[in-house]
């Protein structure tokens, strides 16, 4: 295949000019045993990872807001903060809000989830109309998704990404990012403190009339005083978020100039005995047709990550290569344990065209072996009672994983059927 010949040429070029040893060819990353068993629809042939606790943070049906995805986590000592998106019916639909909860005990118990960034609606709009209504009326839908939780000067801030949908007439349909909105969270109960404020805006912010929503009329469209500090964190390789206005408004293609990529993972640092260290991360293939159903791979020697996205925002010229890691075309999460040696990939490693997002698994790559050799099931067998949406975008399964280590446990969060938000606490010793 042309793409693998090119990636081998690229790797060979790296080897010959820097004489490093431990760069694993991307198509050798997935070496788990036993291999994926496609006949085992729930477990894919793998064992369940023991979990210390499963906590339902947000029950969409119970709350009457049946859409929820994009959880994000931050741990500060034993406190864990979460933000996630919450919409009344549909994915990324008019009035989607940032919600969140917090735990004081390493993820075992949580406050009820509550609204952090209110719906961005014009005075004549409500968030209850369905997706087709807004499309038929040719009205922009302003939606806010979960992006990050940050600590700045001992303050905790929840950050949402605007993801605004258009769907009418000659312009077709798509998403435009209008910037990031943040709000400080109480370290006592996770509730919002003070007004929401912006980390960045662009021309869409005003075209979509955010200035005539509560963000203008009540909160004055103001930038956060600490916007520079937060923006600086959000370009650090270990913190670059999965989404951005640029990723929504433009395209980022892989090295084959064809595969459309989004939802970049955080980076992990790889030390080498016989060469310089480097950052490594993965991307999700979001190509609407001819999707590779594979995870995509990227690396850089630049310690500050200035020579790749988001330091560079270019559609072409990105050195991102296809791996052999199977993928259900869903968001994944890459992290490293506090030992700095054990890399974990939380994903739906099953290339099913039915878009059933289970099992949700954790695969491990340990020490100098960069391949993923062991894998276990974090969660599977999602409820088949799914509250209806009007976009047909809901999928059975567990998706949008994130994780953070707290002491000797890995606190993970994910969405069930894009409507419930769960946390699973896993003892590090129980990882596969």
Alpha carbon distance 74, 159 (integer Å): 12
* In the complex, least distance from residue 276 CB atom to ligand NAG, rounded to whole angstroms: 25
Alpha carbon distance 41, 60 (integer Å): 25
* In the complex, least distance from residue 70 CB atom to ligand NAG, rounded to whole angstroms: 19
* In the complex, least distance from residue 195 CB atom to ligand NAG, rounded to whole angstroms: 18
3-class DSSP string for 324-386: EEECCCCCCEEEECCCCCEEEEEECCCCCCCCCECCEEEEEEECCCCCECEEEEEECCCCCCC
* In the complex, least distance from residue 186 CB atom to ligand NAG, rounded to whole angstroms: 27
Helix, strand, coil percent content, the chain, rounded in steps of 5 = 15, 40, 45
Alpha carbon distance 142, 121 (integer Å): 7
Q: In what order do the strands lie in the sheet with 97-103?
A: 67-76, 79-87, 97-103, 114-117
With respect to ligand NAG, which residue has the nearer C-beta, 95 or 335?
Answer: 95
Angle at 36 between CA 372 and CA 349, to 5 degrees: 65
With respect to ligand NAG, which residue has the nearer C-beta, 336 or 377?
Answer: 377
Residues 388 to 407: which contact ligand NAG by CB under 6 A?
390
Alpha carbon distance 240, 251 (integer Å): 17
**Interaction of residue 33 with ligand NAG, rule CB under 6 A:** no
**Interaction of residue 62 with ligand NAG, rule CB under 6 A:** yes
Query: Which one among 9, 13, 28, 38 touches ligand NAG, defined by CB under 6 A?
Result: 38
DSSP annotation string for 378-417: EE----S-----SSS---SBEEEEEEEEETTEEEEEEEET
**Interaction of residue 48 with ligand NAG, rule CB under 6 A:** no
Query: Which one among 48, 109, 173, 203 touches ligand NAG, defined by CB under 6 A?
Result: 203
Nearest to 196 by CA among 231, 224, 154: 224
The neighbour count for residue 191, using CB atoms within 10 Å, is 14
* In the complex, least distance from residue 272 CB atom to ligand NAG, rounded to whole angstroms: 28
With respect to ligand NAG, which residue has the nearer C-beta, 157 or 308?
Answer: 308
Residues 276 to 305: which contact ligand NAG by CB under 6 A?
290, 292-293
With respect to ligand NAG, which residue has the nearer C-beta, 248 or 333?
Answer: 248
Nearest to 122 by CA among 103, 137, 106, 101: 137
Neighbouring residues of 23: CB distance < 8 A, sequence distance ≥ 6: 11, 14, 15, 278, 299
Residues 239 to 278: which contact ligand NAG by CB under 6 A?
256-258
With respect to ligand NAG, which residue has the nearer C-beta, 59 or 186?
Answer: 59
DSSP annotation string for 193-225: EEEEEEEEE-HHHHHTTGGGSHHHHTTTTPBPT
**Interaction of residue 238 with ligand NAG, rule CB under 6 A:** no
* In the complex, least distance from residue 341 CB atom to ligand NAG, rounded to whole angstroms: 28
What string marks each residue from 208 to 237 as x (binds ligand NAG by CB under 6 A) or -?
-x-xx-------------------------
**Interaction of residue 16 with ligand NAG, rule CB under 6 A:** no
Residues 145 to 174: which contact ligand NAG by CB under 6 A?
none
- The DSSP letter of residue 177 is -
What string marks each residue from 95 to 134 as x (binds ligand NAG by CB under 6 A) or -?
---------------------------x-xx---xx-xx-
**Interaction of residue 326 with ligand NAG, rule CB under 6 A:** yes
With respect to ligand NAG, which residue has the nearer C-beta, 15 or 128?
Answer: 128
The neighbour count for residue 273, using CB atoms within 10 Å, is 8
Size of the site for ligand NAG (CB under 6 A): 40
* In the complex, least distance from residue 367 CB atom to ligand NAG, rounded to whole angstroms: 27
With respect to ligand NAG, which residue has the nearer C-beta, 152 or 360?
Answer: 360
**What does the block give as tokens for 80?**
């864990």
**Interaction of residue 42 with ligand NAG, rule CB under 6 A:** yes
Query: Which one among 381, 387, 393, 428 touches ligand NAG, defined by CB under 6 A?
Result: 381
- The DSSP letter of residue 316 is S
* In the complex, least distance from residue 151 CB atom to ligand NAG, rounded to whole angstroms: 31
Alpha carbon distance 43, 37 (integer Å): 8
Contact positions vs ligand NAG (CB under 6 A)? 3, 6, 37-40, 42, 45, 56, 59, 61-62, 122, 124-125, 129-130, 132-133, 139, 203, 206-207, 209, 211-212, 256-258, 290, 292-293, 316-317, 326, 351, 381, 383, 390, 420
């Amino acid at each position: 295949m042309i793409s693998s010949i090119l990636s081998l040429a690229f790797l060979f070029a790296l080897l010959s000019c820097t004489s490093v040893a431990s760069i694993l060819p991307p198509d050798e990353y997935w070496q788990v045993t036993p291999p994926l068993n496609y006949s085992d629809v729930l477990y894919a042939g793998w064992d369940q990872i023991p979990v210390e606790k499963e906590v339902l943070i947000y029950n969409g049906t119970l709350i009457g807001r049946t859409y929820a995805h994009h959880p994000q986590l931050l741990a500060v000592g034993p406190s864990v903060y979460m933000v996630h998106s919450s919409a009344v019916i549909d994915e990324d639909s008019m009035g989607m809000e940032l919600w969140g909860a917090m735990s004081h005990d390493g993820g075992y118990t949580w406050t009820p989830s509550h609204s952090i960034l209110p719906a961005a609606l014009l005075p004549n709009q409500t968030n209850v109309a369905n997706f087709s209504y807004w499309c038929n009326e040719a009205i922009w839908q302003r939606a806010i998704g979960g992006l990050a939780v940050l600590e700045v000067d001992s303050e905790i801030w929840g950050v949402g990404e605007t993801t605004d949908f258009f769907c009418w007439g000659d312009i077709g349909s798509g998403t435009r990012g209008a910037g990031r909105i943040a709000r400080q969270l109480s370290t006592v109960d996770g509730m919002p403190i003070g007004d929401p404020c912006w980390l960045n805006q662009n021309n869409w912010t005003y075209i979509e009339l955010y200035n005539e929503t509560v963000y203008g009329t009540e909160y004055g469209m103001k930038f956060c005083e600490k916007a520079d500090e937060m923006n600086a964190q959000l370009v650090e390789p270990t913190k670059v978020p999965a989404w951005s206005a640029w990723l929504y408004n433009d395209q980022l293609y892989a090295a084959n100039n064809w595969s459309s990529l989004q939802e970049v993972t955080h980076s992990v640092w790889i030390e080498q005995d016989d060469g310089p260290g480097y950052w490594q991360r993965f991307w999700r293939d979001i190509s609407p047709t001819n999707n590779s159903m594979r995870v995509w791979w990227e690396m850089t020697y630049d310690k500050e990550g200035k020579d790749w996205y988001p330091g560079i925002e270019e559609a072409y010229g990105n050195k991102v290569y296809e791996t052999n890691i199977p993928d259900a075309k869903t968001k994944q999460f890459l992290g490293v344990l506090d030992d700095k040696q054990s890399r974990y990939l939380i994903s739906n490693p099953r290339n099913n065209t039915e878009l059933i997002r289970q099992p949700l698994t954790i695969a491990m790559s340990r020490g100098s072996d960069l391949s993923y050799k062991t894998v276990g099931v974090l969660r599977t067998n999602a409820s088949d009672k799914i509250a209806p949406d009007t976009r047909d975008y809901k999928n059975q399964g567990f998706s949008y994983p994130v994780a953070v280590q707290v002491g000797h446990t890995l606190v993970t969060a994910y969405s069930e059927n894009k409507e419930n938000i769960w946390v699973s606490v896993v003892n590090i010793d129980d990882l596969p």
